[in-house]
């Protein structure tokens, strides 16, 4: 390894001074000083989002057996596909695929790669930011309602979403991933804390009287659609792949110390924490409340009041970090387009205007369509399944060319088939839930 490193000649940097200056300004490539533990808490913050709170609800739509099977299988598949992405980050010697779409372009070709990856990645990241706006507002409202206990004036959800958004108008001006590492660390700690409160309070409360573990819906059609929506909820919970290459881009890399080693170390730690959050919340939450659980477990829990209030505020802190993690690649795409294609001058003015408009857009959509459970199921299947479950496998087959009928070949094709099925069926359940919610919903209530 040492000899190989000594004989290594770095590829000639063919960028112009202007191109290098732009890359040094863009949020993904401006800083490469991250440590392995940055990878751990960035991945926890990215993965353990609002989705963990909906897992007991997903279990109530899937039932005990299928629910545990889907949760376990999803964890295994996503560990595998995440490992593939970490490996492919520097699969070409002397080159780094710092963005998901850059890897896609290498696998599928410059134009096709962009068209395959960018729309899906944008749908995932923008929809997550919108859902986090809604969940952040909901958690603030729940905190307010628990603390007031009926003694305060009722405030619309719309106003709480605006309060949550106001934080992001400021934080979105932080330049790159490393500059939000402190926020991400706090968010990761909060995610573990409120997940523990969610299952701990459920365990302390014990099994509800007349708890019912039959599927939520009473009609066959309702049960089928609910099952499909539950699959989408689980898919939504494993969405960190959309930012993994961008996170790895912040880690320094040399031939003798490639970035994949510290990155994978961080991912392993993150996935142990993710399992410690997801499995107890899903199973104990469902055990305690059965099919009467809400689409956010913390809304179902009401006592002890101080603990539930604290947990909701932890959710708010965590969602602040999660929003920033998923917004950063979007900012990178926006700023790349504005500077490289539209020839705007890079600088603070451009950054402030572009990012402020984006935060305002996600706030507006979140206020207008706050169908939390349905949004998760719909987006979970439509966009998260491809980018998380099978797109990495397709790229692995194209780039690495494993021998036909080998274990790698079979593993990847299994993930592709399961992922495609998930992409087709999961949005159906989520869309139905959105339609059902929309029937009784009043805009800006």
Give a yes or no: residue 327 inside a domain: yes
pLDDT in the model for residue 359: 95
Distance CA 375, CA 437 (A): 11
* Domain count of the fold of the chain: 1
Is the confidence at residue 5, as pLDDT, over 50? no
Is the confidence at residue 156, as pLDDT, over 60? yes
Give me the residue label for tokens 């961008």. 246
Give a yes or no: residue 78 inside a domain: yes
- Confidence class of residue 223 from pLDDT cuts 50, 70 and 90? confident
Give a yes or no: residue 9 inside a domain: no
pLDDT in the model for residue 12: 56
- Confidence class of residue 2 from pLDDT cuts 50, 70 and 90? very low
pLDDT in the model for residue 423: 82
Q: Do residues 156 and 444 touch, judged by C-beta distance below 8 A?
A: yes
pLDDT in the model for residue 161: 92
Is pLDDT larger for residue 427 or for residue 391? 391
pLDDT in the model for residue 439: 66
Distance CA 386, CA 173 (A): 30
Give a yes or no: residue 260 inside a domain: yes
Q: Do residues 374 and 437 touch, judged by C-beta distance below 8 A?
A: yes
pLDDT in the model for residue 79: 92
Is the confidence at residue 8, as pLDDT, over 60? no
Question: What integer is the mean pLDDT of 367-392?
Answer: 72
Burial class (CB in 10 A: 0-12, 13-18, 19+), 326: buried
Distance CA 148, CA 157 (A): 15
CB neighbourhood size of 31 (10 A): 17
**Span 174-204, pLDDT tens digits:** 988 888 889 999 998 998 888 888 888 888 8
How does 215-228 read in b/e, with b if 16+ C-beta sit within 10 Å? bbbeeeebbbbbbb
Q: Do residues 34 and 231 touch, judged by C-beta distance below 8 A?
A: no
Q: Is the peptide bond before 438 cis (omega within 30 degrees of 0)?
A: no
> What is the span of the domain harbouring residue 92?
21-439
Distance CA 316, CA 187 (A): 9
**Span 412-431, pLDDT tens digits:** 999 999 888 888 877 776 67
CB neighbourhood size of 207 (10 A): 12
* Cα→Cα distances 160→144, 215, 229, 390, Å: 9, 33, 27, 37
Mean pLDDT computed over every residue of the chain: 83
Share of the chain above pLDDT 90, in %: 27
**Span 237-288, pLDDT tens digits:** 777 788 889 899 889 888 888 899 999 999 999 999 988 889 999 999 889 8
Distance CA 272, CA 279 (A): 11
pLDDT in the model for residue 369: 73
Give a yes or no: residue 348 inside a domain: yes
Any idea what the CATH number is for the domain that residue 276 is in?
A: 1.20.1740.10
Is the confidence at residue 4, as pLDDT, over 50? no
Distance CA 147, CA 164 (A): 18
Give a yes or no: residue 140 inside a domain: yes
Q: Do residues 232 and 2 touch, judged by C-beta distance below 8 A?
A: no
Distance CA 444, CA 161 (A): 11
Give a yes or no: residue 6 inside a domain: no
Q: Return the closest-CA partner of residue 266 out of 281, 287, 244, 283.
A: 244
Say which range, 54-58, 76-80, 440-444, has the weakest mean pLDDT.
Answer: 440-444
Give a yes or no: residue 58 inside a domain: yes
């Amino acid at each position: 390894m040492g000899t190989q490193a000594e004989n290594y000649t770095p590829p000639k940097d063919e960028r112009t001074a202007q191109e290098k200056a732009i890359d040094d300004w863009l949020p993904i490539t401006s800083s490469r000083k991250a440590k392995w533990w940055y990878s751990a808490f960035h991945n926890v913050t990215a993965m353990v989002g609002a989705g963990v709170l909906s897992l007991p609800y997903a279990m109530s739509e899937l039932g005990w057996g299928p629910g545990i099977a889907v949760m376990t299988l999803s964890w295994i598949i996503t560990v595998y596909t995440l490992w593939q992405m970490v490996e492919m980050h520097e699969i070409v010697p002397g080159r780094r695929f710092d963005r998901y779409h850059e890897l896609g372009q290498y696998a599928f070709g410059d134009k096709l790669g962009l068209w395959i990856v960018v729309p899906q990645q944008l749908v995932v990241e923008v929809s997550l930011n919108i859902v986090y706006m809604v969940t952040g507002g909901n958690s603030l409202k729940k905190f307010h309602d628990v603390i007031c206990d009926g003694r305060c004036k009722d405030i619309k959800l719309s106003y709480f979403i605006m309060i949550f958004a106001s934080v992001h108008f400021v934080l979105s001006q932080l330049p790159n991933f490393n500059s939000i590492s402190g926020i991400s660390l706090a968010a990761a700690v909060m995610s573990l804390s409120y997940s523990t409160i969610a299952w701990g309070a459920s365990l302390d409360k014990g099994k509800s009287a007349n708890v019912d573990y039959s599927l939520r819906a009473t009609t066959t059609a309702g049960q089928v659609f609910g099952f499909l929506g539950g699959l989408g909820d689980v898919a939504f919970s494993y969405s960190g792949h959309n930012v993994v290459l961008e996170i790895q881009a912040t880690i320094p890399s040399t031939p003798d110390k490639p970035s994949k080693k510290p990155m994978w170390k961080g991912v392993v730690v993150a996935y142990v924490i993710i399992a410690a959050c997801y499995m107890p919340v899903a199973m104990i939450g469902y055990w305690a409340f059965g099919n009467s659980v809400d689409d956010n477990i913390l809304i179902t829990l009401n006592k002890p009041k101080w603990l539930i209030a604290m947990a909701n505020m932890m959710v708010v802190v965590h969602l602040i970090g999660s929003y920033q993690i998923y917004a950063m690649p979007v900012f990178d795409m926006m700023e790349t387009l504005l500077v490289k294609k539209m020839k705007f001058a890079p600088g603070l003015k451009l950054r402030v205007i572009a990012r402020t408009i984006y935060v305002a857009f996600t706030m507006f959509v979140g206020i207008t369509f706050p169908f939390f459970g349905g949004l998760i199921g719909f987006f979970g299947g439509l966009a998260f399944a491809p980018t998380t479950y099978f797109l990495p496998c397709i790229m692995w087959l194209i780039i690495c060319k494993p021998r036909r009928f080998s274990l790698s070949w079979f593993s990847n094709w299994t993930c592709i088939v399961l992922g495609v099925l998930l992409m087709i069926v999961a949005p159906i359940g989520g869309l139905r839930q959105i339609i059902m919610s929309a029937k009784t919903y009043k805009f800006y209530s």
